[in-house]
Amino acid sequence: MTSFMKNLRLFSPVVLRLSIALVFLWFGINQIADPNQWVAYVPDSVVNFSGLAVTTIVFLNAIFEIILGSALLLGFFTRWTSALLALHIIDIFVIVGLNATGVRDFGIAAATLTIWLNGSDWFTLDRFMRHDAFATPTIVLPGGTQTKSEL
């Protein structure tokens, strides 16, 4: 594998985190924009247990996904944010079951768990707040030597 291809690995955690964050933001924004489109996805058991109106549940879910999706996008408390989002989407997967929507949610949950396992990548607010200033990533050069690079 060429050193260029090895260097591309540095971007995979960043791309994964940003992509999953955008997915959660898309869902959250769409739930705010048209909550009636989403009420059919809320199980009766959740409505009965909470005592809230179904549109209120959709709205609260949207706020949760927008706040945590934004935090994930910025890389703010990346591990905690991704853990909460993973648990959230796993809960939805369990409720929805094994169908097309459930399989999609399983994929999102697996990607979100991967972010949790990886933790903060080099392009997160977490790293910036630790004064790593986007923690200049390690680059693998031909011959196996390593150096720090400004990306």
Taking only the tens place, the pLDDT of each residue in 93-131 is 998 889 999 999 999 999 999 999 999 998 999 988 887
How far does Cα 143 stand from its chain's mean position?
A: 36
**CA count, 13 A, side-chain hemisphere, 114:** 16
Q: State residue 106's pLDDT score.
A: 95
CB 130 within 8 A of CB 75: no
Query: How many residues does the structure list for the chain?
Result: 151
Nearest to 81 by CA among 50, 118, 129: 118
Distances (CA, A) of 45 to 4, 50, 72, 96: 52, 8, 30, 12
Q: Which residues pair with 137 in a beta bridge?
A: none
pTM score of the predicted model: 0.85
Degrees, nearest 5: CA angle 73-109-16: 40
In a 10 Å sphere around its CB, with 0-12 CB exposed, 13-18 middle and 19+ buried, how is residue 1 labelled?
exposed
**In this predicted model, what pLDDT tens digit does every residue of 2-58 receive, in sequence order?**
788 878 888 999 999 999 999 999 999 999 999 999 999 999 999 999 999 999 999
CA distance 79 to 110: 14
